[in-house]
Every structure is written in structure tokens, then in C-alpha cells.
Amino acid sequence: MKGAGVDARAALALPVVLALLSMLGPFAIDTPFPAFDRMEADLGVGGDQMQLVVSAYLLAFGLMSPFHGPISDAVGRRPVMVAGVCVFALASVGCALAPSFELLLVCRVLQGLSAGGGVIVSRTVVRDLYDGDTAQRLMSRIMMIFGVAPALAPIVGGLLLQVGPWPLVFWFLGVLGLLLAVVVVVLLPETHPPERRLPFSARSLAGSMLAVGRHGRFHVVAWAAALSFAGQFLYIGAAPIFVVDLLGLGELDFWVFFVPMIIGLTTGAWISGRAAGRVRRGVLVTAAMSFALAGALVGVLLAALPATRAELPWAVLGPALIAVGTGAAYPSQQLLLLDMFPAARGAAVSMFTFFTLVLNAVVAGAVAPLVTGSVLSMAVTSAALVGAGLASWTAHLLTGRRARERAGAVPAPVPTESL
């Protein structure tokens, strides 16, 4: 195990700090959801245009995400994280002060371009410090803390609307960004020392990204995780429509959807942590993704039956079960991707985030408007995405098995480190 040089204070604070940095993404997406109706009225736009508030952020995040990690491979983790959250805070203030929908979208783009400095780079810190089962347990612990964010964010947004107008939501995000910058400076050690850094040049940065992008196994595993999570994110990205229009609830009722999903996510992350050192990662991921698909199909069945269609609690059961599976699979999948590129972990996590965010932006901006006409159409689309993720993971397992057979290996369970 690495990380022996980390002082006791940093070791205790590490999961909380990294989880808070990861929370910035869900808070930027979910906190404004309860304010959508008021924003529509004040800015003179419709519901379809308000979806751009989500997709503009996600597309900008996705387009910038290939660069945060490689830059941190060259200059260190802390400078990129601090700069990112500070710019995010300024962009949030811009959103609060925006006099028009167009300027609001510009500031949302700036939020997306900067947020990855904290969200993406923080994921590399675990693997910088630890390996093996310790890394999986810590990654799972972080995910359990992080998992509270999608449930907490819309609740916070709804409460803020009870004491002020919708810009208050973005003032809150600005303060959150500044607090995170202070926390990183005070509590988080630099985990990527100068002797391990890559040259800071356009050629070096492009080379590390190209090396990751050309790696076949990376693509298969990355798409397995991204597609499976997209089946869950379909509901998150379209939460204002799902909760208000389809379920007939109000701006303070987003918890009805988010709390069961987050219970599922944290349960899955807890299972991942408990399984570390006991269950091979490949077996764990396969079982978890199969469970997610079964949960998605349960959602389809409940949405198709007249007695449970668009009724609580049945309408939110499918997304919650999907979350159990993705929560159990995600820590191991992230570690597998990081382990493929020991010298360029930042580039690996950046490229994975790029695929995930672009896919989520397409789901929120293009797919969701086509399938949010009913709970059933959402459930069917979600199941298709989760199924595609499991198919990609199965392709990864089969490709690895064939490669071992060609190399003359005896067909046997794959070691934990390779899965």
C-alpha cells in the first residue's frame, strides 16, 4: 500500500474532501432544478429551452474534461483543483447576475469548463496514494459520501427558493466553490510530486490523451460504465419533467425521486467497499451491472402496468435499483481505467469523464425531450442504455479471455488487479 507518508489529518480528511470536490458536479446540475419554473417566467423561455441550462453545462464540462487531467499530470493536482473551483465560483456569480437567458447560458458554459478542475482531478488522488483493495475501499467510501449530493442538491435549491429569488441558488454555488478552494489549500496534500510529472507542453499533453484515446480496452470499459450510468442519468437530467410533469409533484418534492436513488447508490458503494479483497473485481462488476439491468427491467414492467404506472413509490423503484448496480460497479471500473495508465492517470480519468459527460449531455439535451412523454418511454430507454453498458462490459471480458488464450494462458479466473 502507498500513502504511508500522508499525515494523520490529511488521511482522515481525504475521503470527505475528495467527495466534496466530486459533489460540485451534481450540485451544479441539480440545485437549480426547483427554480426552473421561476427562471422560465423571469427569463421568458419555455421548458425545452430550460433543458439547455443542463446540456450547456454538461457539454462544456465534457469538452474541457480531456484537458484537466493531463494538465494535472504536468503541474500537479492541487493547482488545477484550486484554479478550477475558483473560476467555477466566479461563473456562478455571473449566473446569479445574468440579465438574460443568453448570458445565463454563457455563464453555465463557463461553469462547465471550470468545474472539472475539482471534479475530475480529485479522482486521481486516490490512486496516487493507494492501490489494490485499499484504493477500492476508499473509492467506495468517497462514492457513498458523494452519493448524497444528487438528493441533497435539489432539496437545498427548493429551500433557497423559500427565502429568496432564483439567483440565490447560484449565489449559493459561488460560495460553495470558494469554500472548496479553501478546503483544498488547507487540507489536501499534493499527491503528484515533480519527479512523477510529465512535461508541460502541448505535444506531451496531446500525446497522453491520444495514447488513452487509442487504447481499445479503455474504450470498452469506459463505455460500459458510461452507458450504464446514462440509464440512471436519464432520470436525473430530466428530473424537472419526471418529477413535476409526469408525477405531478411540486418544487419541494424532488426528494421523492432523489432520496430513493441515492439510497440505492450509497448501498451499491457500500457493497463495493465490503467486497474489496473478498470478491474479484470482474465478478463484482458483472454481478452489479446485471443487477442494474434487472432493476431497469423492473422499472419497465411497473411503468407498463396500469395499477403502478406513474404512481409512487413504483415509479421511482426502477431508477433506485439501477443505482444500486451502478454504485457497486463504478469504483472498480474507475480503478481499472486508472490502472491502465500509471504514468498518465489524469489523462485516463479525463478521457473517461469526457465520454461520460458528452453522453450525458446528449441524453439530457437530445434523448430526454423525445422520451419524457411518459414514465414507460423513459423506463424503456433507460433499460436500453443499461443493457448496452452490460454488453460493452461483456465484450471487455471476452476480449480479455481471448487475449489470454492466444498468449497460451490456461483459462482461469482473471486476477483482481486485471479486472
pLDDT for residue 1: 45
Predicted model pTM: 0.73
pLDDT for residue 419: 45
pLDDT for residue 404: 67
Residue-wise pLDDT for 340-358, tens only, equals 888 778 888 888 878 887 7
pLDDT for residue 283: 93
Rounded distance between C-alpha atoms, residue 173 and residue 175, angstroms: 5
Please list the ranges in the chain whose pLDDT falls under 70: 1-12, 151, 251, 403-405, 407-419
Which helix (H) or strand (E) segment holds residue 4: the answer is: none
Residue-wise pLDDT for 276-288, tens only, equals 888 998 999 999 9
Nearest CA to 341 among 353, 349, 329, 332? 349
pLDDT for residue 408: 61
Rounded distance between C-alpha atoms, residue 27 and residue 306, angstroms: 35
CB count within 10 Å of CB 278 equals 8
| Domains within the chain, CATH numbers bracketed | 8-407 (1.20.1250.20)
Residue-wise pLDDT for 29-57, tens only, equals 889 988 888 998 888 888 778 878 888 88
Q: Summarize the chain as % helix, strand, coil (round to 5).
A: 80, 0, 20
